[in-house]
Amino acid sequence: MKYFTLLFCLCCFFSCQNESQVDTPTSGENKKCDFSKDALRDGQFTLRDLQRAVVLATDAENAQGVLRVYDTENCAQVNEVAFPAFGDSTATYRMAQIIYNNQSKLVAVYGGGRIYLYDAAEDKAAGPLLPEYLTPRPRTVTGEIVRLEVWEDYLVGFAAEKGAFVFNLKEENKPAVVLPAAEFARPDGTFSSLFLLPTRGEENSVQAIFPRYDAETETFGIVSLFKKPRSLTLPEGTLKISETVVLQEGDEEYTVDMNTQSLVTD
């Protein structure tokens, strides 16, 4: 008899446990939304304070990129932006989480040689943005974008066989092309581009950087010539397309080797 009583109590316990699980709320913060099932690799980004999830997927019928925006509170889709197909090209769209601060809530999508921006705060898309370069590039190369990242207030990227490019994102919805201060066409056919980017909150100060991409290891990095922003300029009359250039800060001069992307030291 005691075994029957124990078995009855256990059944009641597990029955109560199951009933409790069924009654658990599944809305709001406790609801788990699965946005990853349609997402491309690295194609999902959550903006928590906006309660939005942005997912980049592929439209199988049209072979193009589709950006779907969801409300993370109720898992409902609230917007969808379709990007043009590439035609015969094998290029695909990818997502770069480019900037996330108090001023902008932007996500970038790039494919082939073009870039599109989605502003989650304003719920609108812009583009395409087309990279520009200081010197003409060969028309025979496609310039497919291989990397795209944020660097402070700038969108910095690298295109195959064309090199580095930069967009200024300080003005919302008005990304502006930033051309290099100097450039050098290396003997191997690659381009070395030096950018002087003004920094926020430091008047007349710039960061001197070289965006760099290694095709063999598929690694992207930004080389800073100085540890902190400096009041640097190119003296008037400087040849911008040269193997060496001189940066000036007051009475000080710094010689830059454009081939090695480094400062020349005595």
What pLDDT is recorded for position 253? Answer: 94
pLDDT in tens, 86-121: 776 677 888 886 655 555 678 889 988 899 989 888
Quote the CA–CA distance of 228 and 199 in Å, as a whole number.
Answer: 10
Structure tokens given for 84: 């043009």
Please report, in tens digits, the pLDDT of each residue of the chain (266 residues total): 444 344 344 344 334 444 333 232 333 444 678 887 778 877 888 888 899 999 998 776 666 789 999 999 999 999 999 888 877 667 788 888 665 555 567 888 998 889 998 988 888 888 899 999 999 998 878 788 999 988 878 899 999 999 999 999 887 667 899 999 999 999 988 999 999 999 877 778 999 999 999 988 989 999 999 999 999 999 887 888 999 999 999 999 999 999 999 999 75
What pLDDT is recorded for position 163? Answer: 95
Quote the CA–CA distance of 220 and 43 in Å, as a whole number.
Answer: 19
- pTM, two decimals, is 0.80
Q: Which of 109, 106, 95 is nearest to 44 (CA)?
A: 95
Q: Note whether 56 and 95 are within 8 A (CB).
A: yes
Q: Note whether 134 and 126 are within 8 A (CB).
A: no
Q: Note whether 126 and 119 are within 8 A (CB).
A: yes
Quote the CA–CA distance of 185 and 135 in Å, as a whole number.
Answer: 9
Q: Note whether 98 and 149 are within 8 A (CB).
A: yes
What pLDDT is recorded for position 84? Answer: 86
Phi/psi at 6 (nearest 5 deg)?
Answer: -65, -45
Q: Which of 149, 184, 181, 177 is nearest to 163 (CA)?
A: 184
What pLDDT is recorded for position 3? Answer: 43
Q: What is the residue whose two structure tokens read 């005595």?
A: 266
How many other β-carbons are positioned within 10 Å of the β-carbon of residue 115?
24
What pLDDT is recorded for position 98? Answer: 61
Quote the CA–CA distance of 44 and 237 in Å, as a whole number.
Answer: 47
